[in-house]
Amino acid sequence: MEKLKKMVAREALKYIEDGMIVGLGTGSTTAHFIQLLGKLVMEEELEIYGIPTSYQAKLLALESGIPIIDLDEADAIDVAIDGADEVDPDLNLIKGRGAALTMEKIIDYRAGTFIVLVDESKLVDYLGQKMPVPIEVIPAAWRVIKEELEVFNATAELRIAKNKDGPVVTENGNFILDAKFERIEDPLDIEIELNNIPGVVENGIFADIADIVLVGTKEGVKKLER
Ligand code: 5RP
């Protein structure tokens, strides 16, 4: 699996040009990309700036020698490279296993080209087939939002931290509800409706945003385009 992740990460380098501002995604696949990009920047003395979607991406970028800037310092983001947890046949995504979905969506949405890196295990027939939808919520509202999600026939669980007692707290100081849907028929509608619930900061459905999905398979990299 690591081999497939590295293979797509290497392929993504082909979309990078000197002078670009690059959105840096979160997760294990994007981590390979950030390291490879760092090498390229150093070797070819490129003038590239990264905008990280999380502390993970920021630390890795600094370690890899990629100069970083804040989102509010950039006039435009040329390209964003990010991972995903599920990809449906229309290239709608579920993201947020790493709890970085809010910043990821802001940066991926703003990018001139948004490129997704996955291995073939992430391809699904419909969103919600394997993974819950992570929803970032204001802490005080987690319980009312969990109840509200029953309207969608979704069962939500508060995400509990592994190396800390109590819930996961996002980089924005919020909680995450992982909502298991039976089947998401219309991702764009559900994405909008979830964000309409008071107290929801953002949700992990990324409908109609991905431009290119690079899929790592045993036969090589497959390119899917919208
Ligand atoms: C983090 C994410 C990740 O991009 C997504 O979970 C994929 O991660 P990985 O490449 O490790 O499978 O959305 O919030």
Check whether residue 158 and residue 174 sit in a common domain.
yes
- Indicate the pairing of strand 200-203 with strand 133-137: antiparallel
CATH code for position 180:
3.30.70.260
The number of folded domains in the chain is 2
Q: Which amino acid is at 117?
A: L
211 and 186 inside one domain: no
**Domain identity same for 31 and 75:** yes
Same domain, 39 and 118: yes
Answer yes or no: is 127 within a domain: no
Mark whether 36 and 97 lie in a shared domain. yes
d(CA 142, CA 84): 24
Specify whether 144 is located in the same domain as 61: no
Q: Does residue 169 share a domain with residue 111?
A: no
> Is 77 contained in some domain?
yes
Quick one: which of 109, 169, 172, 100 has its CA closest to 134? 100
Is residue 191 domain-shared with residue 213, that is, in the same domain?
A: no
Is residue 26 in contact with ligand 1, taking CB distance under 6 Å?
A: yes
- The DSSP string of 94-115 is E--TTS-HHHHHHHHHHEEEEE
Could you tell me if 118 and 6 lie in one domain?
yes
Predicted confidence at residue 176, as pLDDT, reads: 98
Asked if residue 180 and residue 143 are part of one domain, the reply reads: yes
Range of the domain at 219: 2-122+207-225
Do residue 100 and residue 159 come from a single domain? no
Q: What CATH number has the domain bearing residue 83?
A: 3.40.50.1360
Mean pLDDT by 10 residues, the chain (226 residues): 94 98 98 98 97 98 97 96 98 98 98 98 97 98 98 97 97 98 96 98 98 97 96
- From the list 204, 202, 203, 205, the residue with the least C-alpha distance to 188 is 205
Do the domain assignments include residue 191?
Answer: yes
Residue 224 has which token pair? 């899917």
Residue 219: strand, helix, or coil = coil
- Distances from the Cα of 112 to the Cαs of 10, 75, 76, in angstroms? 20, 12, 8
Task: Tell me, in angstroms, the distance from the centre of ligand 1 to residue 13's CA.
Answer: 18
Query: What is the pLDDT at residue 226?
Result: 87
Task: Examine the domain organization and report whether 25 and 81 are in the same domain.
Answer: yes
Is 136 touching ligand 1 by the criterion CB < 6 Å? Answer: no
Is 61 part of a structural domain of the chain?
Answer: yes
| Residue whose CA lies nearest to ligand 1 atom number 2 | 96
In a domain, 186, yes or no: yes
The reported pLDDT for the residue numbered 1 is 85
In-domain check, residue 219: yes
- Give the atom of ligand 1 at the shortest distance from the alpha carbon of 204: 13
What is the pLDDT at residue 8? Answer: 98
Q: Is the Cβ atom of 108 under 6 angstroms away from ligand 1?
A: no
CA of 161 from ligand 1 middle (Å) equals 17
Examine the residue annotation and report whether 182 is marked as an active-site residue of this protein. no
Q: What are phi and psi of 106, to 5 degrees?
A: -60, -45
pLDDT value of position 128? 97
Q: What's the token pair of residue 202?
A: 């953002």
Q: Which of 85, 105, 174 to mutate to test the pocket of ligand 1 (most atoms within 8 A of CB)?
A: 85
pLDDT of the residue at 216: 97
Query: 69 φ, ψ to 5°?
Result: -135, 160
